[in-house]
A and B are shown apart, each in its own frame.
Chain A
Amino acid sequence: GIQVEQSPPDLILQEGANSTLRCNFSDSVNNLQWFHQNPWGQLINLFYIPSGTKQNGRLSATTVATERYSLLYISSSQTTDSGVYFCAGGNYGGATNKLIFGTGTLLAVQP
């Protein structure tokens, strides 16, 4: 099955700093999503991005499907950005409609 590797495993930032999180896949995927889990455990979908680039406020994501990786950019970080960021991928279509999750990047933004 697909293996998902995220880096770095953890990251500490000062408020206002920028960061890049990376997700590598062992096989091609045609569905890729980024999630944020806040310190209270809630999982929020950030991006549905099988290819290309998307932006949402201070966050943006780029997926290069041919090279099997995706990047999540956080600019001007805030303390509310703290939590765990997960990427997940899968090959959808037919009966295989499921995602495999990476182990996440733990982000702590300090004031």
Chain B
Amino acid sequence: NAGVTQTPKFRVLKTGQSMTLLCAQDMNHEYMYWYRQDPGMGLRLIHYSVGEGTTAKGEVPDGYNVSRLKKQNFLLGLESAAPSQTSVYFCASSYWTSGGAGEQFFGPGTRLTVL
């Protein structure tokens, strides 16, 4: 049981390049999330998904797109990277409860630098 995994762990991009971050979970969780973490700002939600084939915007969605074609995978895309997107990106997943989503479990993070 690997939990939540993220690929890649590190990446350096040049301004204008594109890339996709992959998140995978093997816990059969319904909900998945993408966050970014910047110094002094905690974690901010970029996009999230409440089930396969669904996505929704979080607090800071601009410049990012997501897809959830399979229940176990959640992809985060940067179409044209900007230096402001330099950050550490975390993926998380949580299970369904009758009252909504349960505990969130995090992946190890992806450190992205945009030059």
Q: Is A42 in the interface zone, CB < 8 Å from B?
A: yes
Q: Is A83 in the interface zone, CB < 8 Å from B?
A: no
Which single residue of chain B is at the shortest CB-CB distance from A41?
A: B109
Interface SS majority for chain B: strand
Q: Is B114 in the interface zone, CB < 8 Å from A?
A: no
Q: Which of B65-115 contact A (CB under 8 A)?
A: 88, 90, 92, 94, 99-106, 108-109
Q: Is B56 in the interface zone, CB < 8 Å from A?
A: yes
Instruction: Report yes or no: B40 in contact with A103, Cβ–Cβ below 8 A.
Output: yes
Q: Is A73 in the interface zone, CB < 8 Å from B?
A: no
User: CB-CB < 8 A to A103: which residues of B?
Assistant: 40-42
Given that A41-B88, A101-B42 are contacting pairs, would A31 and B56 also be in contact in the complex, using a CB cutoff of 8 Å?
Answer: no
User: CB-CB < 8 A to A1: which residues of B?
Assistant: 59
Instruction: Report yes or no: B108 in contact with A42, Cβ–Cβ below 8 A.
Output: yes
User: CB-CB < 8 A to A94: which residues of B?
Assistant: 100
Given that A42-B108, A43-B90 are contacting pairs, would A97 and B41 also be in contact in the complex, using a CB cutoff of 8 Å?
Answer: no
User: CB-CB < 8 A to B102: which residues of A?
Assistant: 48
- Tally of chain A residues near chain B (CB < 8 A): 26
In Å, the complex CA distance between A93 and B100 comes to: 4
Instruction: Report yes or no: A31 in contact with B40, Cβ–Cβ below 8 A.
Output: no
Q: Is B21 in the interface zone, CB < 8 Å from A?
A: no
Q: Is A86 in the interface zone, CB < 8 Å from B?
A: yes
In Å, the complex CA distance between A33 and B100 comes to: 14
Instruction: Report yes or no: A33 in contact with B103, Cβ–Cβ below 8 A.
Output: yes
Instruction: Report yes or no: A97 in contact with B103, Cβ–Cβ below 8 A.
Output: no
Interface centre among A31, A35, A95 (most CB of B within 10 A): A31
Given that A86-B43, A93-B99, A98-B45 are contacting pairs, would A33 and B104 also be in contact in the complex, using a CB cutoff of 8 Å?
Answer: yes
User: CB-CB < 8 A to A92: which residues of B?
Assistant: 99-101
A-side interface residues toward B, CB under 8 Å? 1, 30-31, 33, 35, 41-45, 48, 86, 88, 92-104
Knowing that A33-B103, A95-B50 are A-B contacts, what are 4 other residue pairs whose CB atoms are under 8 Å apart, sorted by A's residue number? A42-B108, A45-B105, A98-B58, A100-B59
